[in-house]
Structure 1
Amino acid sequence: MYKNILVPIDLTQAEKGTAMLAVAAKLADQGAKITAITVVEDLPGYVRAELPTGLVEKNLKAAQEEMAKLVKDSGVAASVQVSDGNPSREILDHASKIGADLIIVASHRPGMQDYFLGSTAARVVRHAACSVLVTR
């Protein structure tokens, strides 16, 4: 069905990531490319300036290792991408960059702040140039 699937994973909800990778594997054509991405929320410059040197890079490396383990444990052949910044913007930019034809994103029950700001999943659904599958 799909040839290039992007699976954004929130590492605080890794169990959803495993399920989303399984869905991606079921929807993927023979020889399809699956990319698992996680985005570490970017910190404002004034906060970064106060952090110990190398802490941000250490967190990115830890996220890379955790994603690699999650993908390996899922049994799904997927490449891993870790970036930092605004999650919805990074997801949409990466989907565009790799030419994704499907984004599989997890949703949660919205809290009050989501009604005012909109969740990452909602922003991805609204602005994606390709199909988006929202899982619960």
Structure 2
Amino acid sequence: MRLLLAALTFAAIAAPGAARDRSEIPPATPAGKPQSCIPLRQIQQTQVHGDRTIDFIMSGRKVYRNTLPNACPSLGFEERFSYATSLSQLCSTDIITVLHSSPNLSPGASCGLGEFQPVTLVRR
């Protein structure tokens, strides 16, 4: 039983790093002009790629890639962030805040967004 527990613990520790290289940004081609804002209600998912790149997956599977003007410390490691806006849009003038997972989603660095570039992700 102890051997099984030790094996499961090792697998849980090793799996996150083996799952994907966090520094790798999936290739994409531009699919239109960059936008200053995207509608909040259409954001279905986000994918963080390192400390400077976030893909916003919208309803209809449209993807906007946001390359932050500056690296946002720990964004690539934590892969989670929050934002606050009084509008129904998320804009390049808005600020995101990295959320640290330990001890309980504490705020980290706050960083400005860049423009939202519509892209087509290149399938591998």
Give TM-score scaled by structure 2 length.
0.23
Looking at secondary structure, tell me which structure has more helix per residue: 1
Structure showing greater Rg:
2
Looking at secondary structure, tell me which structure has more strand per residue: 2
